[in-house]
Every structure is written in C-alpha cells, then in structure tokens.
Amino acid sequence: MTANKELVAVRLEEDLNARLNKLAKSTGRSKSFYIQQAIARFMEDMEDTFIAIERLENPGQRYSMDEVKELLNVAD
C-alpha cells in the first residue's frame, strides 16, 4: 500500500540542485527520493531537539536507577 502524497514545490540554489541531479543520476534514484529522505531526517532531528528543550524547560519527576529497579522489582 502506498501512502498518499502531496506535491510540494521547492526552490533550490543552482549548486545544490546540480549536486542533487548528479546524485540522482549516479544512483538511479529520483530527486524526490533524496528530498524526502533529507526532510524526514531533518524533521526527526528538529522534533528531538524540541522535545529535549521542552523537557529541560519543564522537568518532570526524575528517578534514580535504584528507584526504578525498586519500582519494577528488578534485582541487580
């Protein structure tokens, strides 16, 4: 099953577009493939960054390893 996809237009600097064209041609993959991969990795990194910032700004309950072991009844 394929996911629904939406067309998004992106303007690239000439040198970046040339590099992308060269990569796509040399690997037999589409430019869209590499653009999707790059965006997905960037989004994961940004989401992780914002989660980390949120947790630093709004810390919750913290547990030591010993406390976790005790809560879970785990022996050393």
pLDDT at 3: 82
Residues 6+ apart with CB under 8 A from 29: 23
pLDDT, tens only, 28-76 = 999 999 999 999 999 999 999 999 999 999 988 889 999 999 999 988 7
| Lookup: tokens for 55 | 């947790």
Domain positions in the chain: 14-72
Please compute, for residue 72, the number of CA atoms within 13 A of its CA located in the half-sphere on the CB side: 10
pLDDT at 34: 98
Classified as helix, coil or strand, 76 is: coil
pLDDT at 21: 98
pLDDT at 76: 72
pLDDT at 1: 64
